Amino acid sequence: MENDQAFIKHAWNLTYLIEVGHDDSNGWVFIFEQKEYLLKVLNGGSWFIRESWMLVAVCQDGTIGEKIKLWFQKIWLQMHNIHKNYISDHRCKLFASTTGRVLEVNADIEPGKPTRGCMVRLHVESNLRKPLPRGFFLNNNNNPVWVRFTFENLIELCIYCGLVGHNWKKCQLLPKATPLHEILLELEERKLDELGEWLRAEHKPKKPLIFPTQRKSQETTTACKQLQIVRGD
């Protein structure tokens, strides 16, 4: 435990940090003597310890861990393939809002300019109890383009159900009558508008990714209708 505490203090680069033990849910409780350090931790994640995602949240006096909504976590979102004509602060943050709450710490996006390389990168707060969104079709002059979402630093992502926190082989939604090797074959043939390892920003595919084509049922002419299919529900 002392080694974990020392690792956390080093990762956070904090001087005024006191660990006061565990709460009723067996979680750690830290007291920050200065609010600026607390905000640094809350806005600086994601944080990891021993290859596990460290979920952080603010608790008030008397609040036990079970009542803290740890499933709302800050995560970096990358949006790929947005045509420069559609890159603006309002549009990109509207697109990103489909993955969760867009944080105020994000800088304004200049029109027509990606924030990093060829992508737009934004910090969002997502609900980890829901499957991660995959992206959406952007109707660029009647030429639908798949805007792909990827998320940074996902330690454990189930590519079968889309939830963070477990491996797909341990997913409770797997059909028990279907052998794992058959499920794996189905996963390998999926396209980008379906769940897959490509949701990880660090994923390096061994073969070309399969881009989806827009179905007639997905055809859209307005931004509002486009956002209705972002989550792929």
Summarised one tens digit per residue, pLDDT across range 151-186 is: 998 878 899 999 988 889 989 999 989 999 999 999
Q: Is residue 116 part of a domain?
A: yes
Asked whether residue 105 falls in the same domain as residue 42, the answer is: no
Higher pLDDT pick, 164 / 231: 164
Q: What total number of domains does the chain contain?
A: 2
Residues 56 and 76 in one domain: no
Question: Residue 193 to residues 56, 78, 135, 189, 233: CA-CA distances in angstroms?
Answer: 30, 15, 7, 12, 11
In a domain, 233, yes or no: no
Split at pLDDT 50, 70, 90, the class of 48 is low
Cα 178–chain centre separation: 29
pLDDT category, 27, cuts 50, 70, 90?
A: low
pLDDT tens digits for 190-221?
A: 999 999 999 999 999 888 888 888 766 555 43
Q: Which domain holds residue 106?
A: 72-228
Instruction: Answer yes or no: is pLDDT of 231 > 90.
Output: no
Q: Are 31 and 46 in contact (CB under 8 A)?
A: no
Residue with tokens 């859209």, as numbered in its chain: 220
Which pLDDT belongs to residue 74?
Answer: 85
Instruction: Decide if pLDDT at 149 tops 50.
Output: yes
Residue 155, in any domain of the structure:
yes
In order of 11, 63, 228, the CA distances from 8 in angstroms are 5, 22, 40
